[in-house]
Structure 1
Amino acid sequence: MYHSFSLSGRPYALHESDFVANKGVGLLRVETPAGQIDVYVTHLLANYNAGGKPGPGDFYQWHRTGQSYELTQFISATNRNKLTVVCGDFNSSPDCLELKVPRQLLCLRDAFTDTNDEDGLTFASPDNKYSHGEHPMRMDYVMYKIDKQPKGESDWHLVKSSIFKGFFTDARGEKTPLSDHFGVRAEFIFSEPRPHVCEQQEGYDVVSTDEVPSPNATRAPERSCPTATCSHCDEHEPQQTEEDKAAADAACLQEVQNMLFVGRNEAIAARHKRLWRAVAFFVAALAVFVSHMMSIVVSNWSWVVVLLCGITSVTEYVLTFFFLTFECSTFTELINEVQLHQHLHSQQTKGMVQAKATK
């Protein structure tokens, strides 16, 4: 199953090629001995800012926010299994809104930070000649969600996650990376309850799946977790109340809406700018044509100027009233979807509060 994103870049930016790539999200339902799992793969728009650096100049940030929201809605509508894996190239840093949306609204976890004490680096690392020199960051992720089983029953467990640095040897015998990005891999196992890395004995091989330790085995006392994030430690923290979760979801949706409003305003400004350019070139073509016909300016180059200005005017007009208008309307549709989501979320929150009040 595949869902194409509504916003997929600018069709007239041929050097970017994002639009023709038909960016979206795909769902693969995998049959395993432990039952089906849902695997989602996606690729968000690239950041064409200088060096791929996030921040000012990244004019596709609004597009990626819309794509991230569509991704979240698609997963919410199709997900039905105990293990959900969402992976792909998000072209975004770990702390950005594009990652916050699925993490907050779907309660997804980051497989890499759950098993490592660092953030990782998949783009512009020194050993990747295709992207070295750009802004180094992690753009590729494996996120997951495991529906918890009753205590003591077998369940899915994240075993390890690491950066996959794939190389091949080219015709000249040089070691060449497979892509300008390095990949991320994660390994899951369906087994009896197993200790998390933060509660394992010293010397235990956390990445080993050859043997699953018995839940009755003697364990060392709990120690500080050696990973950047930890699902096990989070379980022992005070649980977030339903009201707090609802408030955090509402705040996230508001951030999405604000970002989409900015994107629509930018698209409207671009449409106005190109419309005025279309008018200016049309007036220039008309002025040269009238001057030539009235013999004010007699030159064979006059027709060349008229032709060039006319073609430019028509091109700007087409871009304005077809592509940019479509972009504006798409932003409006997404904003309406988010507002409807906010309304339904608000009604659910009110119902939850009223139900608690009547108990």
Structure 2
Amino acid sequence: MKMLLPSALMLTAALFTFTEKSSAAFGIGKRSAGYIYETSFSSMGWRYLSLLEGKSTDDPNALESSKRNACYKRYGTILNDNTLDIRIAIGYFDWTTGSNVHYSGRSYGVSPSLDIGAYEALKDLLTSSCGGKARFCGFRKDPQNSSLFTREVTIHGKRILARVEIRFSSASEILSDNLGKYRDTQSQRSRYADDFFTRSLREADAVFYFGHARNGGGPDFYPPVFVPGTNKLNYSGYYKAKRPGFNKMLNALGSSRQAPVIGLMACASRDHFLRRTRAVAPNSGVISSMDVLNVDYVYTAMIGAVDALLRGQCQKSFYQSIRMTTGNQKYITMDGMFE
């Protein structure tokens, strides 16, 4: 996946200002500056949320009968327990260029992790005050679970408890630390994030994977595997040959229940994953991407999809919500959602 460099983003001064936050959950103490790429994820998210603020929320009763029935059918099993369970699993999101990465005047070494910054940005967006009609906002952090956020929403006239749980994979931003002094912690985090994703495929109403496709070897929650003696990812000998993440995902989807909505927010996920995913989970709607693309397309499409679910958007509006920008219109698609 290509990284859109910060110089190409219209960042405001406010987005470069960070308050000191506790990072005890990450095992790396406190910070007085943001995580790598956090400002970029924040800027992408705020801009996309501003587009969603002006978007109307569907009233299914105003739709023609076939579209109304398709909408009610999709949300029927999702809302039957009066809870909307959304889970976001962020993979081990290494920024691998083959050499040291320099960002904002600092060297992060080879393949630094972006998933902690993505988590922080998503958390801030979810817990921000709402503006306009957007619903990816107004959540409260659960006092017993710092990765779980809740709020009440009204969907199709019903009061619904919405739960959004977000998990990430990296123990720290620095690969050498994650393979060295944080090795045990990293192993535990990777296994937990991997298990969280596979459980979510069986348990959640909607599950999103945000991370690398690994040329078909993902979803991946583990530090990158390199060609021996290099800093290049071992696609041909490991990821494409073994497809470890995808095989595990297919096994999870082989259960008696599959998540009604699956978002595969990774490069070229349509080509890598869609056909076999739809074969084992034919009743699940799948959101995917076409081609190798900038990270902002899949990141903002995920925000749009969660916002659409929180409103109960039907086919046309849901599709618009994940494609609010020119780039998303070119690269983001969905299958099986309301057909």
Which structure has the larger Rg? 1
TM-score by length of 1: 0.25
Q: Which has the higher contact order (CA 8 A, sep 6+)?
A: 2
TM-score by length of 2: 0.26
